[in-house]
Amino acid sequence: MMTRYHVLAGLSALLLIACTHQASVDGPLYRNASAPIEARIDDALSRMTLEEKIKLIHAQSKFSSAGVPRLGIPELWTTDGPHGIRTEVLWDEWDQAGWTNDSIVAFPALTALAATWNREMSALYGKSIGEEARYREKDVLLGPGVNIYRTPLNGRNFEYMGEDPFLSGTMVVPYVQEVQKNGVAVCVKHYALNNEETFRHTTDVDLDDRALYEIYLPAFKAAVQEGGAWSIMGSYNLYRGQHVCYNERLIMDILKGEWGFDGAVISDWGGVHETDAAVKNGLDLEFGTWTDGLTMGATDGYDAYYLAKPYRDGILNGTYGTEELDDKCRRVLRLIFRTAMNKDKPFGSICSEEHYAAARRIGGEGIVLLKNERSVLPISASAKRLLVVGENAIKMMTVGGGSSSLKVQHEILPLDGIRRRAGDLMEVSYARGYVGDVGGSYNGVNSGQDLSENRTPAELIAEAVQMAKEADCVLFIGGLNKSNYQDCEGTDRRSLDLPYGQDDVIEALAEANPNLAVVLVDGNAVAMPWIDKVPSVLQAWYLGSEAGNALADVVFGDVNPSGKLPFTFPRQLSDSPAHRDGKSFPNRGKSFYDEGIYVGYRWFDEQDIEPLFAFGHGLSYTTFEYGPARLDKTSLRENGQLTLSVRVRNTGTKTGAEVVQLYIADDESSLPRPPKELKGFQKVWLEPGASAEVKFKIGPEALKYYDPEAGEWIAEKGGFEALVGSASDDIRSRIAFSLK
């Protein structure tokens, strides 16, 4: 079907062809798409006036910045992500514009993607969402997010890729590459140290250099140097007393200096608070909300932004030179030439069968089977009466949560997906169980659901218990939602506990029916005081448009679960390093990361604390046996590599996939190091009885730590150990080697 997007794209292509043809004869070099991009930038920059340069580096609307109309350089259009393309909003408002053709596919949250531990799923995700962004004529996708999971109370953890820098750094690269093949730039966020929401505009992070380089920066570095990211979004918080959107050390010294980033640094919306530092410390493109970029004021006040009139006036009165301005314009022009003026980009597609299939596949592969005693899951074919309990079985989760809120073409709810799969073979009944958030709107997008409920908690539990006694098996579908103080931008969780009295419902169901499976729909770890009474627990995340189908695939065994946790589940909040000894959270002023490099499983290993569920944990409907790890030699030279191999066999009766994880332990380090660190993983698919040899390359890079005194990465000679297993707490084989 021909749409306005195709018409506009076709006209743009014709205009670009015409401009390119003219440029090849006698036109300006910047229009010649076949010319080297740096030469095109030089030519365009030489033709621009001061006014045009200033307009290029700040917003002109809520989500766009000006091009150079006189020169035919187009506007730059951004869109929120990272799980889908945000609905069109009004020019100067957050509320939706009221279009009828801007509904999209919602893909699973990035926690679910990280839980696949599969690079192919990351590439599929990037390809699919990139095609949707391209179809909607977006130039910059504001995502993916790779901030490290430091605390389970961070309201925005569901948008990120877990606690480990190697896992998140590995998974972000294919996403970046595949999005940008569509001529759409990623904007990797939130650079950096954005680990809490409540006081995100004023929190000043204090941490040592080892933690900065080893834990919080590697995923951003991978996105830039391996993925080739074209833009980066600065975060709201401060580091060393300076806001991160224009932080001299993080942007000038590390991002643009050490890493050689040639893209544009874009502010988070309202993340700029002054002109001077923004000019000098590497911010390239300022976006915001109202006139001052943060609070309400006069509409359409974009000329008052810090990189607008105040900057222009500073140049005219001699406060600033033009060197910084030209560098900013170069980077923004480079971004425009890579996206809006890229003649080779495809048309893209939206709401296609392929995209829905991708969302379903990624969702199913990201679901994690945490516990499965007595094989309650998959649901037996002999079961005739299934009871589903819980609000999250019927609540839309694509609306809300902050800037990742979406307007979907459809969202398959868990109860609907389960009923569709059960068909006429099984009676599926439903009980509410508890009441959580009965609303469902965000910036003018409404779910259309009426979840109002007049019964008391006691009445709801009594109904669920009575129905559970009459069922063959029970699925409780609960968890968190995207309301304030849960999984939501702008606020943090207030505790590790499940809200809305869900623990009482689960306890009552466990007494009523032994065949109970708890399904958790959320993006964070939660406390499970009932864990010993419940035989089966499934971590299902926020799965987007195909949530119900993806969940049904796993619950009924059509898909064998193969997800692994991308972060640790603590038994109690005080076990988490950010909350030990009653440490305050959230932090209104200074936030001291005094756990240093001991984040996530590194802390649990170092302190010998047993987690509820470990990093990397995830069960299957089949079983896997590991053989002994073998090395092709016992020592490693400084410029060489070792090959580690291990044979894995499917010893069960179902086809399934296992994520083989490689950890490295340093036995002779001069500085303290964690007991082990993830340095490799591979997902292998095996038929029943089949086996495969999994191989890892171990080079000096896998052995290094950051030496803050030397200011560099060090691989010390001495003894190391390679540990291979199914989770960070389930090591199946280990072997020693040395670095000569």
The Cα 360–Cα 353 span in angstroms is 11
Rg (the chain; Cα; Å): 26
33-38: Cβ within 8 A, 24+ apart = 33/341, 33/342, 33/343, 33/344, 37/334, 37/337, 37/338
Q: How far apart are CA 635 and CA 643, in angstroms?
A: 11
Query: Is 268 an annotated catalytic residue?
Result: yes
**Residue 291's CB: how many other CB atoms inside 10 A?**
17
Closest to 92 (Cα-Cα) out of 388, 300, 281, 283: 300
**What would the two tokens of residue 538 be?**
């499934």
Using an 8 Å Cβ cutoff, are 455 and 495 in contact?
A: no
Q: From the candidates 268, 487, 522, 553, which is the catalytic residue?
A: 268
The tokens describing 309, both together, are 């009139």
Question: What are the residue ranges of helices labelled H in 247-307?
Answer: 276-280
Angle (nearest 5°) at CA 113 between 111 and 116:
110
Asked if 343 and 21 count as a contact pair (C-beta separation under 8 A), the reply is no
Amino acid at 34: S
> How far apart (Å, rounded) are the C-alpha atoms in residues 589 and 202?
6
Peptide bond before residue 133 is cis, with ω within 30 degrees of 0: no
Q: How far apart are CA 229 and CA 224, in angstroms?
A: 5
Continuous segment of H or E residues that includes residue 233: strand 231-234
* Cβ-based neighbour number of residue 384 at 10 Å: 12
Cβ proximity of 473 and 379 under 8 Å: yes
Say which residues have a Cβ less than 8 Å from residue 672's Cβ, sequence separation at least 6. Answer: none
* Cis previous bond, 190, omega within 30: yes
Q: How many CA within 13 A on the CB side of residue 62?
A: 16
CB atoms within 10 A of CB 459: 12
Which of 587, 597, 574, 599 is closest to 205 using CA atoms?
587
Q: 3-class SS at 645?
A: strand
> CA torsion angle for 179, 185, 186, 190 (degrees, to 10)?
180
CA 357 – CA 103 distance, rounded (Å): 17
Two structure tokens written together for 242: 């300076």
Q: Which two tokens stand for residue 156?
A: 């925005």
Query: What tokens were used for 506?
Result: 């689960």
Cβ atoms of 573 and 440 closer than 8 Å: no
Q: Which residues are part of the catalytic machinery?
A: 268
